[in-house]
């Protein structure tokens, strides 16, 4: 079939009326043959032969058609095909194969032979399917009929095949082409002898010329769908595959087949080297390696671009005064630190992860560092006093309780408290304290300026807890008679926000320090374990009464499980505590404990989700009344947190010579609705006698407004507590002196003697 088509094509080329035609393919030959067999007239035969074949869909269009009737593709022009054979011909060369000025009739055979139609070239290069022998187009990756994949060897050979370029013309080539247009076509798959004999007649089709021009334009071809993409495209526009690095790489010089110049003999052509299979394998390996390397480089480039965009955004949002101050501490630039503080910067501000990323010095900066951390780390002794003075003068957010100002005295107080813990011999071997103390804020606070007083209260009190307890319905300071007339306003002290808040508040209400050494927690756990046979029956009976009010009961196994849970909570530092632990603390301190708290537990949305059940009176029922004192302490409860409630000493105590008279604080035993506070852990026999029990364990009195209150007596401060409070007050007194002092001091005048005496003399 190929030989017959070749002979018919040769005959067509020899006919003078067909010399001027540009495109001739097998379909045209078959059509002419079909028309001749049917006896068609000569005019219709000529019209059919003059049709031009579309390069995209191979449809034969009439000569007058400018676009393809089927796919609307542009009609190929002869001038374009000729010029694309050699994009850069040497100027002034007389032997150039293709001239752009004129197209003569004499060299049309050479033009048709050297630049045959792309459709005819592709038709000759069709590949046969190994399964169904169907002839498929060269660019097809699968068989059109059976969808079988193309042979890998043929695919690889055509993939790595480099385009040919014509550089010079050859008169012998012209002559051979005039006599036999297709007789000297080079077979790329032939042997070395065929190549050496016919290399001068190698021709390049217009489609291959266009591919060379596309490569020269830096377009890259997709290895999967053969679509030519723009150079900036990272993925194929058709199949979305990653870019093939080999597509954008121009073919090397040793892979280009060129035609010899007229001066060089045909025998001087270099022989084609034998194919090396190992080289092909290494080339394929290099292609795969380059593809993976390009993908990794693209991924890294994308990450770098994302990181750069993130850094630009952080730079726009950064506080550069703060970052320059941090760099100033590291580089010993005190001016940057002073600029930051002069702008109202907070010296206690800590570095965030984004700010550490911007500073980009992991060896110097870390998340959470403040200016003081950096000054201590880099030994900036001249900056530390300035930063500490700024922190001393700062208000909200920084707490300065007496135990923080005088840590050594606070440690001595904790050791003193631990030394006075005893265990009573007998059936009820519970821990108890041998010395009592009640903490109150010193009256000397009123001597400080109002601004310093406000700063002191901000650094000492828990403003949020105070606000919650005083908000309606109020649980604290709700009676003007008690707060204003009797001077018994209670203040909420700040403590550590952890599971130790109950023990901290109990220690603050008595000695003014935190339970940092867990002395009180160990005493609590030991007392519950050793005296469980007395605590458990009263706890179980009280809980059964509360459960019956809610109409449910528990089995004995559940009671024992709950009891074991309470015991384990008491022995674990940092774990939250319950009502039983407050009841046990009343026995350890040997005094009543009054808890003022919110009645409902709220969610983070502010919705009521349950009863708090902590508010009320806790009495040491398991001790004898004579063994306990009648002056209670008060605690506050707000949403899972306990705080110490302490009064302020009367200002009359600092006037003149101090006497040993006791100050009295009145603690209400009723809520804002004039109902008695509940007494926890009462037995069923004690129910209904709440007021009598209160009078039995407390110094109860009735105010003029009809309120039942308990008297809390303030004794003389213990020596260690007095020293700690004095050192704490001195801190604020120094701040008051700095504020009241003039900004510029008068310089001291120094007189120098004119005689030979020294200045010291």
- Residues designated as active site: 501, 641
Neighbours of 61 (CB within 10 A): 18
Which of 332, 331, 336 lies closest to 319, judged by CA?
A: 336
Cα of 225 vs its chain's centroid, Å: 39
Vertex 77: Cα angle to 75 and 79 (nearest 5): 170
Helices of type H across 58-168: 78-85, 108-114, 118-124, 152-160
Angle of helix 579-589 relative to helix 532-549, nearest 10 degrees? 140
In the chain, helix, strand, coil percent, each to 5?
Answer: 45, 10, 45
| Cβ atoms of 127 and 138 closer than 8 Å | yes
CA pair distance 609, 612, nearest whole angstrom: 9
CA pair distance 586, 418, nearest whole angstrom: 17
Can you list the positions of beta strands (E) in 119-186? 127-128, 135-136
CA pair distance 504, 410, nearest whole angstrom: 13
| Cβ atoms of 518 and 573 closer than 8 Å | yes
Query: Which DSSP string corresponds to 406-429?
Result: SHHHHHHHHHHHHHTEEE--SSS-
355: its two tokens: 């700010």
CA pair distance 197, 117, nearest whole angstrom: 24
Which of 709, 689, 707 lies closest to 698, judged by CA?
A: 709
Angle of helix 501-510 relative to helix 579-589, nearest 10 degrees? 30
Cα of 486 vs its chain's centroid, Å: 56
User: What count of residues does the chain have?
Assistant: 761
């Amino acid at each position: 079939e190929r030989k017959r088509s070749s002979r018919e094509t040769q005959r067509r080329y020899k006919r003078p009326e067909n010399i001027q035609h540009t495109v001739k393919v097998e379909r045209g030959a078959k059509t002419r043959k079909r028309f001749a067999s049917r006896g068609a007239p000569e005019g219709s035969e000529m019209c059919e032969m003059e049709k031009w074949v579309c390069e995209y869909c191979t449809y034969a269009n009439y000569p007058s058609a400018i676009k393809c009737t089927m796919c609307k593709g542009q009609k190929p022009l002869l001038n374009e095909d000729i010029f694309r054979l050699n994009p850069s011909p040497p100027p002034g060369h007389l032997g150039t194969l293709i001239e752009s000025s004129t197209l003569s009739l004499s060299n049309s055979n050479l033009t048709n032979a050297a630049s045959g139609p792309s459709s005819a070239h592709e038709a000759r290069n069709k590949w046969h399917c190994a399964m169904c022998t169907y002839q498929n187009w060269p660019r097809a990756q699968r068989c059109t009929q059976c969808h079988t994949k193309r042979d890998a060897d043929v695919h690889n050979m055509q993939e790595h095949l480099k385009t040919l370029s014509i550089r010079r013309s050859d008169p012998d080539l012209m002559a051979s082409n005039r006599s036999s247009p297709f007789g000297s076509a080079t077979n790329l798959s032939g042997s070395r002898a065929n190549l050496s004999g016919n290399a001068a007649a190698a021709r390049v089709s217009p489609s291959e010329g266009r591919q060379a021009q596309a490569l020269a334009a830096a377009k890259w071809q997709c290895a999967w769908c053969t679509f030519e993409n723009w150079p900036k495209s990272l993925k194929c526009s058709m199949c979305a595959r990653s870019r093939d690095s080999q597509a954008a790489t121009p073919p090397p010089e040793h892979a280009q087949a060129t035609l010899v110049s007229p001066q060089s003999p045909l025998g001087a052509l270099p022989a084609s080297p034998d194919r090396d299979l190992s080289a092909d394998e290494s080339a394929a390996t290099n292609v795969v390696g380059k593809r993976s390397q390009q993908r990794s480089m693209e991924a890294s480039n994308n990450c770098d671009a994302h990181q750069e965009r993130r850094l630009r955004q952080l730079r726009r949002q950064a506080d550069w005064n703060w970052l320059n101050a941090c760099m100033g501490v590291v580089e010993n630039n005190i001016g940057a630190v002073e600029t930051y503080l002069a702008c109202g910067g907070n010296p206690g501000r800590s570095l965030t992860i984004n700010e550490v990323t911007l500073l980009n010095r992991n060896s110097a900066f870390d998340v959470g560092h403040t200016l003081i951390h950096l000054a201590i780390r880099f030994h900036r002794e001249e900056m530390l006093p300035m930063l500490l003075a700024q922190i001393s003068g700062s208000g909200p957010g920084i707490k300065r309780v007496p135990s923080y100002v005088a840590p050594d005295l606070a440690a001595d107080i904790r050791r003193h408290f631990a030394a006075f813990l005893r265990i009573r011999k007998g059936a009820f071997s519970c821990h108890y304290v041998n010395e009592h103390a009640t903490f109150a804020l010193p009256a000397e606070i009123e001597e400080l300026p109002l601004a310093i007083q406000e700063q002191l209260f901000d650094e000492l009190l828990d403003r949020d807890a105070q606000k919650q307890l005083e908000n309606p319905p109020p649980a604290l300071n709700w009676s003007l008679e008690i707060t204003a007339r009797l001077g018994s306003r209670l203040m909420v002290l700040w403590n550590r926000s952890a599971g130790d808040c109950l023990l901290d508040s109990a220690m603050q209400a008595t000695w003014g320090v935190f339970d940092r050494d867990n002395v009180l927690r160990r005493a609590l756990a030991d007392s519950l374990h050793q005296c469980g046979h007395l605590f458990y029956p009263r706890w179980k009976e009280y809980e059964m009464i509360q459960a019956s009010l809610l109409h449910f009961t528990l089995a004995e196994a559940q009671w024992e499980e709950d009891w074991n849970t309470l015991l384990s909570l008491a022995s674990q530092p940092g774990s939250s505590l319950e009502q039983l632990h407050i009841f046990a603390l009343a026995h350890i301190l040997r005094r009543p404990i009054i808890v003022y708290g919110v009645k409902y537990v709220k969610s983070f949305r502010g919705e009521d989700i349950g009863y708090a059940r902590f508010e009320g009176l806790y009495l040491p029922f398991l001790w004898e009344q004579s063994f306990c004192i009648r002056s209670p302490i008060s605690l506050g409860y707000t949403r899972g947190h306990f705080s110490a409630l302490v009064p302020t000493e009367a200002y009359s105590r600092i006037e003149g010579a101090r006497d040993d008279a006791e100050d009295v604080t009145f603690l209400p035993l009723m809520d804002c609705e004039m109902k008695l506070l509940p007494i926890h852990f009462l037995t069923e026999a004690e129910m209904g006698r709440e007021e009598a029990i209160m009078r039995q364990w407390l110094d109860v009195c009735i105010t003029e407004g009809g309120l039942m209150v308990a008297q809390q007596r303030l004794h003389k401060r213990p020596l260690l507590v007095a020293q700690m409070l004095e050192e704490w007050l001195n801190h604020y007194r120094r701040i008051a002196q700095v504020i009241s002092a003039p900004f510029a001091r008068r310089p001291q005048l120094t007189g120098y003697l004119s005689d030979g005496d020294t200045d010291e003399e």
